[in-house]
Amino acid sequence: MRVEVARHAGVCYGVERALRLARESAEADASVRTLGPLIHNPQAVAELRELGIEVAGSLDEVDDGTLIIRSHGVDPAIISAAEDKGLDVVDATCPFVTAAHTCARELHEQEYSVIIVGEEDHPEVEGIQAHAGGGALIVQSASDLPEQIPGRRVGVVVQTTQSLARLEEVVSALLPRVNELRVCNTICSATAKRQLSAEELARTVDVMVVVGGHNSGNTNRLAEICGGVNKRTYHVETTGELDPSWFEGASSVGVTAGASTPGIQMQNVIAAIEAMG
């Protein structure tokens, strides 16, 4: 059974940067917390906990030491409040997310009605919405658009891990309904490359395996895209989730991993699949 890895797969620069900042913080301070999970990868978060880096559910849980802002970003008011408490704030927001923040803020300041294409309860989207003044409309697809579009001058910003197809769908639905439409394509280039190479590989193999946190938006998107072209697509976090029956009769298996998936996790899954063959 041949195992082939997608050309672009696994941990991205933004995640590597966040992990590096966290480890450096742990070396410099005995009291370090992240505001929410640093990245959406439970295994990586558990490894950080072994270094003494705990996860805080809210700012109220942190009274001293170092507070790390997760890669997904936050409401700028939270950073200000943390600094007011005297905390040493380390901002590990992914640079691509920061770009989305800037776009959302500029659209709001220029008095566009802001629409965010993304997952309503995702922390990244919550941060983008805060930078857009808090009143932005959040949609996951064109079907979520209301009958009455909020304004004739509309600005669109997109969650960095969304697919280009999803963004294009929403934009196409808006075009005939507004007088002016400004679109900020804030999809991360690393995400776009991973999505394209994963889809290409999924079309050519018998089975496709996507590795990464089940709570990871970018990994779930990869699984969704691969599943659209290969029905034998499976999303796993760890080797323990692999089922030998998935590979019955398969001569080729494709593997990809989300941008929040460290390389060792993908390599472990590849080794386990190869052992089954």
Q: 134 and 166 share a domain?
A: yes
Say what the pLDDT of residue 43 is.
94
- Looking at residue 78, its amino acid is I
Distance between CA atoms of 68 and 78, rounded to whole angstroms? 12
- Looking at residue 73, its amino acid is G
Contact by Cβ (8 Å): 152, 158: no
Q: 24 and 6 share a domain?
A: no
Q: 206 and 173 share a domain?
A: no
User: Mind listing the pLDDT tens digit for each residue in 9-48?
Assistant: 999 999 999 999 999 999 999 999 999 999 999 999 999 9
User: Mind listing the pLDDT tens digit for each residue in 140-153?
Assistant: 999 999 999 988 89
**Residue 207: which CATH number?**
3.40.1010.20
**Known catalytic residue at 169:** no
Q: 260 and 208 share a domain?
A: yes
Choose, from 119, 120, 124, 180, the residue flagged as catalytic.
124
* Listed residues 93, 118, 150: the one ending a domain: 93
Domain count, the chain: 3
* Listed residues 59, 74, 93: the one ending a domain: 93
Say what the pLDDT of residue 18 is.
96
Q: 198 and 255 share a domain?
A: yes
User: Mind listing the pLDDT tens digit for each residue in 204-257?
Assistant: 999 999 999 999 989 999 999 999 999 999 999 999 999 999 999 999 999 999
Q: 180 and 208 share a domain?
A: no
Q: 105 and 82 share a domain?
A: no
pLDDT at 277 over 80: no
Task: For residue 104, give Cα distances in angstroms to 122, 156, 248.
Answer: 16, 8, 48
pLDDT at 196 over 90: yes
User: Mind listing the pLDDT tens digit for each residue in 51-103?
Assistant: 999 999 999 999 999 999 999 999 999 999 999 999 999 999 999 999 999 99
Residue 101 class from Cβ within 10 Å (0-12 exposed, 13-18 middle, 19+ buried)? buried
Q: 103 and 179 share a domain?
A: yes
Contact by Cβ (8 Å): 124, 97: yes
Torsional sign, CA 66, 72, 76, 77: negative
* Listed residues 164, 187, 210: the one ending a domain: 187
Range of 183's domain?
96-187
CB atoms within 10 A of CB 194: 27
CB atoms within 10 A of CB 60: 9
Q: Which two tokens stand for residue 25?
A: 């913080």
